[in-house]
């Protein structure tokens, strides 16, 4: 398949410098969007075509657009980081591109070539580079996504799609600094089953999670933790993050069950932890294991990880029948060491020994 060339539409209407500065002064998460977006079309029989870098603008959509009815939609999340010399680099965009292809396969959508995905992200970041924050711990969050663009109500894969990349300056996902979150173990609702769409990054998984997230909030918790759908026993992941359990010098993350998202941060930490001299493994952790290992002191820390949330300590756990504090309820030493190592690598403070950074 040929890679379409991305052309810049001449009529651009960027926000004023003052508006951009205001957004960058307090970016929050997903509140402001940069001046441009990339769009690429796919049509049955023709493939990918019409790649454009255009001013950020609303989409006009027929009410019978298939995405609006049957949710054939997938997305990604990755970040561009300001480097010490002022240049910008993204973190493992090829890994996001491959996961995007896997999501597309699961949703019956066309696969975008890895190099086109990366080129689209590059083009947008280069064009809107002034939007990449310079403050430590802030970055430019890229949101590539694909929707069906065919009009019709027949239930089948669409024959037209639209791939778009937008970007948003990102501060902390959780406000208030590195503060442990409290989690609710959802027994009533499940996120995904094996054979379902849990390993794909598709909107429906997030829509289905919202009521459980609301339930977590009703119980005074920040986030929901999903258990496996069959036994309601094995820990899977959090709302938008994977989980790690720290046993002294060993860190363990739930193995990829087919129903949890294969996080790129999760994968990177398996390697970074090894670099730092920890033992890192994938395994199965039950709710009972979590509680028992907390009580006998062998489980010292728990943290969540993801692109948006980076690394966030888990401080306390609640379910219908029990509640407990993780470690001393404060950010743990291993959690904070891994967090620093990951951010240092992404922001160029330490050398990139894995070849993960993609300079622009």
Give SS3 for 70.
helix
Q: Which of 270, 326, 305, 25 is nearest to 174 (CA)?
A: 305
> Computed over its alpha carbons, how large is the radius of gyration of the chain?
21
**53/146 with CB nearer ligand PLP:** 146
Which partner in ligand PLP, ligand COI, none is near 266 (CB below 5 to 8 A by kind)? Answer: ligand PLP
Which partner in ligand PLP, ligand COI, none is near 263 (CB below 5 to 8 A by kind)? Answer: ligand PLP
44-79 b/e (C-beta count within 10 Å ≥ 16 → b): eeeebeebbbbebeeeeeeeebbbeebbbbbbbbbb
Residue with the CB atom nearest ligand COI in the bound state: 77
Site string for ligand PLP, 99-138 (x = CB under 6 A): ----------------------------------------
**50/94 with CB nearer ligand COI:** 94
Note whether 346 binds ligand PLP by CB under 6 A.
no
Q: Which of 267, 261, 142, 164 is nearest to 205 (CA)?
A: 261
Note whether 272 binds ligand PLP by CB under 6 A.
no
d(CA 314, CA 325): 9
> In the chain, which ranges are continuous DSSP H helix?
17-25, 66-70, 93-106, 114-127, 203-218, 264-275, 287-295, 333-346
Note whether 306 binds ligand COI by CB under 6 A.
yes
Among residues 266, 291, 339, 358, the one that binds ligand PLP under rule CB under 6 A: 266
Q: Are 53 and 9 in contact (CB under 8 A)?
A: yes
Among residues 164, 308, 342, 345, the one that binds ligand COI under rule CB under 6 A: 308
Note whether 171 binds ligand PLP by CB under 6 A.
no
Among residues 27, 110, 171, 240, the one that binds ligand PLP under rule CB under 6 A: 240
Q: How many residues bind ligand PLP (CB under 6 A)?
A: 12
Residues forming the site for ligand COI (CB under 6 A): 77, 240, 306-308
């Amino acid at each position: 398949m040929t890679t379409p060339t991305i052309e810049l539409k001449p009529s651009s209407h960027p926000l004023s410098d003052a508006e951009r500065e205001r957004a960058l002064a307090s970016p929050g998460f997903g509140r402001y969007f940069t001046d441009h977006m990339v769009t690429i079309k796919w049509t049955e029989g023709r493939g990918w075509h019409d790649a454009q870098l255009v001013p950020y603008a609303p989409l006009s959509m027929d009410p019978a657009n298939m995405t609006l009815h049957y949710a054939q939609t997938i997305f990604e999340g990755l970040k561009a980081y300001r480097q010490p010399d002022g240049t910008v680099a993204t973190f493992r965009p090829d890994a996001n591109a491959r996961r995007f292809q896997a999501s597309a396969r699961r949703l019956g959508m066309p696969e975008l070539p890895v190099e086109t995905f990366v080129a689209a992200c590059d083009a947008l970041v280069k064009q809107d580079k002034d939007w990449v924050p310079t403050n430590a711990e802030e970055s430019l969050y890229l949101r590539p996504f694909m929707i069906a663009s065919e009009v019709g109500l027949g239930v089948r894969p669409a024959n037209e799609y639209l791939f778009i990349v937008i970007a948003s300056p990102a501060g902390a996902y959780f406000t208030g600094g590195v503060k442990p979150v409290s989690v609710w173990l959802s027994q009533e609702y499940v996120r995904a089953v094996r054979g379902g769409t849990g390993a794909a990054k598709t909107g429906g998984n997030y829509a289905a999670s919202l009521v459980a997230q609301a339930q977590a909030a009703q119980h005074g918790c920040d986030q929901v933790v999903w258990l496996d759908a069959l036994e309601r026993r094995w820990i899977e992941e959090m709302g938008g993050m994977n989980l790690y359990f720290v046993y002294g010098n060993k860190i363990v993350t739930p193995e990829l069950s087919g129903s949890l998202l294969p996080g790129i941060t999760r994968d990177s930490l398996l390697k970074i932890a090894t670099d730092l001299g920890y033992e890192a493994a994938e395994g199965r952790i039950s709710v009972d294991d979590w509680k028992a290992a907390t009580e006998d002191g062998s489980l010292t820390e728990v943290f969540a990880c993801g692109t948006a949330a980076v690394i966030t300590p888990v401080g306390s756990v609640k379910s219908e029948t029990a509640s407990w504090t993780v470690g001393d309820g404060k950010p743990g030493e291993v959690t904070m060491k891994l967090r620093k190592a990951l951010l240092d690598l992404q922001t160029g403070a330490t050398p990139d020994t894995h070849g993960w950074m993609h300079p622009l």
